[in-house]
Structure 1
Amino acid sequence: MKHITVKQLTLESGYSKRTYYRYFKTKTEILDIAFCKYLTGYHDYLLKSSITPDTIPKLFLDFIWPHHDKIELLAKNDLLVPLLTRHIQTIVALLLSVNVPWRKNSLNDQHYEYILTYSIGGFGVLLDTLFKNRSPISPDQISKALSMALKEIAIQVNMQ
């Protein structure tokens, strides 16, 4: 976090330096608040989307790609995985609140919570690896990698 400046954070987050110093105690706090704002936007986006297991990676990439420069900055400064880890329960709860046809509505069933936690962790590490890579990557390449990871997760879950 020491390599990220307050100026970079304020430019990327849309907050002014004055707002930063008035409302945020740490650089991590502004990252967390900006992330939660994007997460809310992603939730709203999913609610308007037609979701199938095959469209999950594409929907995800269509949403994040306009922000890929910010994700790359986080990844290259070793901040992406810790950010996702801090918010994993919030991400899981958000995704569980989106109605999908293949998931039964059982509040006591933690099966999907575990699958989502596992998936998000794997996707996060995969994105971190891809965005740290010095060669340019395309949304299609990332979508293929995420689809392969998702299929592998489905295979592992079905084996149990």
Structure 2
Amino acid sequence: MNKMNYRIALQSRKMLMDGLIKLMETYEFSMITVTQICQEAGLSRRTFYRLYNTREDILNEYMSTLAEEFFCMVADKAPHHYTEVAVIYFEFWKQHEIFLNLLKKNKMLELIYRISGEIAPVVFQDVKPDMKLDDMTLSYLLSYSLGGLNGLLIRWVDEGMKLSSEQIKTILEGALQIAVI
């Protein structure tokens, strides 16, 4: 693919993502059609099917771009502890409050857990590069950590995202103190 076609494909992908997100503000995800997405984006169905197979593919790609953005925030802030990562996590999602509320409205917040699970090993290696764990131990450790973190996220979203990331950190630190007992 030449540079021009690549740029056009990227622009079309963004337009389709933006179109889907805009439609989710009005319609339930399950009711949105490919035709509606294409109309909102100002693109043809042919373009859609050249880039994606389903509307879920658009959502998955959008979630992947968010995961990359989150990883960049982590890399920039260079945290050294789980609670520091949690602060970044909640700051990140606060920036994407509208999207989080769309996921909530569509009963799709579990997507956050899935995408978090995909990026967690990379974040862990970035935060704790000297800590070597076998794959099974790391998998269980990250599942435990992400379960709690995403449970907090869901609660936070349900309560209107009123607490700051620092307040969440304090709650998390308290929970970790209790867990040590």
Same fold (TM over 0.5): yes
1:64 partnered with 2:87? no
Superposition CA RMSD, Å = 3.3
Q: Select the structure of larger CA radius of gyration.
A: 2
Query: Given the alignment, which residue of 144, 147, 167 partners 1:144?
Result: 167
Query: Given the alignment, which residue of 70, 95, 99 partners 2:123?
Result: 95
* Percent identity of paired positions between Structure 1 and Structure 2: 20
1:2 match: secondary structure: helix
Q: Is the 8 A contact 2:100 2:109 kept in 1?
A: yes
- Distance in 2, Cα, partners of 1:9 & 1:143: 41
Query: Given the alignment, which residue of 141, 145, 152 partners 1:115?
Result: 141
Q: How far did residue 10 of structure 1 move?
A: 9.6
TM-score, L = length of structure 1: 0.70
For residues 36-55 of structure 1, give each alpha carbon's deviation from its aligned partner in whole angstroms, at most 9, with x where no partner exists.
Answer: 11111211221121314343
2:30 match: secondary structure: coil
Q: State the one-letter code of the partner of 1:69.
A: I
The structure carrying a bigger helix percent of its residues is 2
Q: State the one-letter code of the partner of 2:109.
A: L
Q: State the one-letter code of the partner of 1:76.
A: K
Ranges in structure 2 where 5+ consecutive residues have no aligned partner: 1-28
Where relative contact order (Cα < 8 A, 6+ residues apart) is larger, the structure is: 1
> How many residue pairs end up in the alignment?
149
For residues 53-93 of structure 1, give each alpha carbon's deviation from its aligned partner in whole angstroms, at most 9, with x where no partner exists.
Answer: 34333222222222111011102211111x13433541222
2:121 match: secondary structure: helix
TM-score, L = length of structure 2: 0.63
Ranges in structure 1 where 5+ consecutive residues have no aligned partner: none
CA distance change for structure 1 residues 16 and 117 in 2, over 3 Å: closer, same or farther?
A: farther
CA distance change for structure 1 residues 26 and 93 in 2, over 3 Å: closer, same or farther?
A: same
- Distance in 1, Cα, partners of 2:172 & 2:37: 32
